[in-house]
Amino acid sequence: MADRQDEQGLNGPEEYAGSANEIGVRPDVNLLETFLENVRKGQLRVPKFQRPFVWRPDQMLDLFDSIERGYPIGSMLLWETPAALESLEHVGGLAIPDVPPGQSATYILDGHQRLSTLYASLYRPAASDPIDSTDWIWHIYRALGQRDSRANRYVHWKHPSAPPPHYLPIRSVLRTLDFLAYARNLAKTMGDDPFYDELIEEAEQVAQRIKSYKVSVVTLLGGNLAQAVEVFSRVNSKGQSMSPDQMVSALTYKGSGEESLANSIAAILDRVAAEGFGEINSTTGFRALLAVAGEEEVTGARWDVLARRMEGKVSQAVQDTDVALSRAVAFLRDDLGVPLARLIPYNNQLMLLTLFFHLRPEPSAEQVEVLTRWFWITAWSGRFASVNSTTSRQSIQDMRAFADGKKSLPEFAGTQGMFDFADQRARPYPDRFDLRSARVRAYLLWELTEFPLRTTPGGRQYSAVEAIRRLDSAAFRRISNKTGLPNGSNPANRLVLEVNPGLTARSYLHDLRHSPSGLGDLGIPDMAFDLLAAGDDERFIDLRAAELARRERRFIESVGAIVPRTYTGEAEIDTE
């Protein structure tokens, strides 16, 4: 530890926390029911610095499936301490009582998502029905009689009507009276069914497996918050260690009713998403906030040291980031034609734009022009494909100097920095459609600008962006579904369309070409369409790809970028 402190020039977490108390560790194995009873009694709590519940419905169902099969679900990391941390008053909408008088609380550090899923689903009272639009996610059922198919053993029930009688409500498995009530209801509806006894036996087995499931628990004893977070940062749960924003959030959380750093960032990103720009990941928001707060090391810092530097600056940094991020999003959307967060080629571009608009809320026309070139050229060239702490720090320094007016564009030339456009050549048109590739996302941004509208065979126009916003990746429809095509994965074989059951993209093009509105301009030369109509799908894709690459190349030249040497290239997977 001394070597690390000397390298950083700052003290480690023990001194940061102002305590020399050592932290103890107690491994244990608890019955699931016993573990959750501690939540019901108010003894096991979720600290407010934890990020909100973010699990997807399928993750919740997989958790119960793993428990029934006896698979490990990862250790729960707890912290038992006399320190009174502010904690959540509700878990999954269920009220949690106060800590019993004279007892110390135990806080969950790693396992919040699992604990919330289990507690809010298993302890949900039957009186919470009927399901409303907000709490359906906690109503999980085990479909009996489904053999051993993982895909349909556990399900959510979203409908206002009652679920089928063979759907065992998970909330009944820990409560004997509720389980008996379910069994009686099942007897009323299908008691004469020859499979009734089998269903009841299966339900009993499910309940027994869940009740007898044992949870691995590691409890940290004593110590201070910095020490607990240090342990947390080194523990992996299903391959995911504690994220930097969680660590700094915990170490800077002061309670007194204020939001934690992680929750404040989540609130900013939720607002941006609600305004139609879509979801920005929390790591990007965290890095943007650090840059706005004056930090240059945003990718690999000593998070305990960073937390100490951030003390007293969190509240203002949150406010500044909220304003600056809004300006950055407006620039992306209105000036660059980037309609959705998921289409930004690199998250670092958004982080750096947020920093710029914090420092320069009203940029000059020249700065806007340079930023436009910078965005496209770094997107095409793969400038941020392999960012490390050194290149990230240099990019932040470059953007600060540019925003402050300390350097103009000519002064950046030859510096090997991110504004050295002469050293950045656009990568070629991608040969494979894969949204994990920044080059593919850059291509899609150009395509949406080049062909913004779609027309139904009936003549109704709609926005391609709106189709993506509603349908996500399902909007990118394959034109040819022939197997074995060597170029079948090329972007030229994709078309953004609304989903119309029974109407393939190929049929859509055929119907549209013969409709009064006509095919319009979708980057499909007449000769290419003739090839498609004749069944020569491979040559159709090649011809359309050549047309799209030619048009995109023209746009690349208009921005002043160096065009690629070759016609096509590999769509490198380079999402940060």
DSSP string, 200-249: HHHHHHHHHHHHT-EEEEEEEESS-HHHHHHHHHH-EETTEEPPHHHHHH
Q: Do residue 365 and residue 331 come from a single domain?
A: yes
- Between 275 and 132, where is the model more confident? 275
Q: How high is the pLDDT of residue 5?
A: 30
What tens digit of pLDDT does each residue of 306-362 get? Answer: 777 777 788 899 999 999 999 999 999 999 999 999 999 999 999 999 999 999 999
Q: 494: which strand partners?
A: 478
Distance CA 566, CA 426 (A): 10
Cis link prior to 160 (omega < 30° from 0)? Answer: no
Question: What is the value of pTM for the model shown?
Answer: 0.70
For residue 80, the cross-strand partners are 106, 221
Indicate if 323 and 382 belong to the same structural domain.
yes
* 1 lies in some domain: no
One domain, residues 43 and 135: yes
Given this model, what pLDDT does residue 460 score?
84
Residue bearing tokens 């679920």: 163
Examine the domain organization and report whether 381 and 281 are in the same domain.
Answer: yes
* Angle at CA of residue 34, ends 29 and 40, nearest 5°: 135
Same domain, 444 and 411: no
Domain boundary among 402, 420, 438: 420
State whether 510 and 365 are in the same domain: no
Q: Are residues 467 and 496 in the same domain?
A: yes
Asked, for residue 303, whether it belongs to a domain, the answer is yes
Are residues 425 and 564 in contact, defined by beta-carbon separation less than 8 angstroms? yes
Give, in order, the Cα–Cα distances in Å from 545 to each of 291, 470, 492, 529, 554.
40, 26, 5, 13, 14
Residues 6+ apart with CB under 8 A from 490: 431, 432, 433, 541, 545
Task: Tell me the per-residue pLDDT of 358-388, one tens digit each, with 9 for 90 and over.
Answer: 999 999 999 999 999 999 999 998 888 887 8
Look at residue 10 in the predicted model and tell me its pLDDT. Answer: 28
Instruction: Extract the tokens encoding 21.
Output: 């108390």
Q: What CA–CA distance (Å, rounded) separates 342 from 442?
A: 11
Q: Is 187 exposed, middle or buried (0-12, 13-18, 19+ CB in 10 A)?
A: middle
Q: Which residue has the tokens 């009996």?
A: 144
The angle, 0 to 180 degrees and rounded to 10, between the axes of the packed helices 438-450 and 537-559 is: 90
Q: How many domains is the chain built from?
A: 3
Give domain status of residue 187, yes or no: no
Asked whether residue 65 is domain-assigned, the answer is yes
Number of helices and strands (H, E) in the chain?
Answer: 22, 18
Q: What is the mean pLDDT of residues 196-208?
A: 91
270-283: per-residue pLDDT in tens?
999 999 999 998 88
Is residue 15 domain-shared with residue 121, that is, in the same domain?
yes
Which residue range forms the structural domain that includes residue 379? 244-420
Sequence-distant (≥ 6) Cβ neighbours of residue 227 within 8 angstroms: 13, 14, 17, 19, 21, 23, 220
Same domain, 337 and 295: yes
Q: Residue 419: what pLDDT?
A: 64
Mean pLDDT of 196-221: 92
Q: Are residues 558 and 415 in the same domain?
A: no
Chosen domain end from 241, 257, 287: 241
Measured between alpha carbons, how far is 354 from 287 in angstroms, rounded to an integer?
Answer: 10
- What is the per-residue pLDDT across 146-197, written as a single tens digit (0 to 9) for each? 766 656 789 998 887 888 999 999 999 999 899 999 999 888 887 677 788 8
What is the DSSP track for 91-118?
ETTEE-PPPPTT--EEEEEE-HHHHHHH
The span from the CA of 546 to the CA of 24, in Å, is 65
- Give the pLDDT of residue 4: 31
Instruction: Give residue for tokens 């391609």.
Output: 464
Tokens encoding 500: 């119309």
Does residue 77 sit within a domain? yes
In a domain, 332, yes or no: yes
Q: Long-range contacts made by residues 83-86, C-beta under 8 angstroms, separation at least 24?
A: 83/224, 83/225, 85/45, 85/47, 85/48, 85/49, 85/225, 85/255, 86/47, 86/48, 86/253, 86/255, 86/256, 86/257
Domain boundary among 392, 420, 448: 420
Region 439-447 average pLDDT: 95
389 versus 44: which is more confidently predicted?
A: 44
Residue 72 counted as domain residue: yes
* Whether residue 446 is found in the same domain as residue 404: no
Residue 193 belongs to a domain = no
**249 and 177 assigned to the same domain:** no
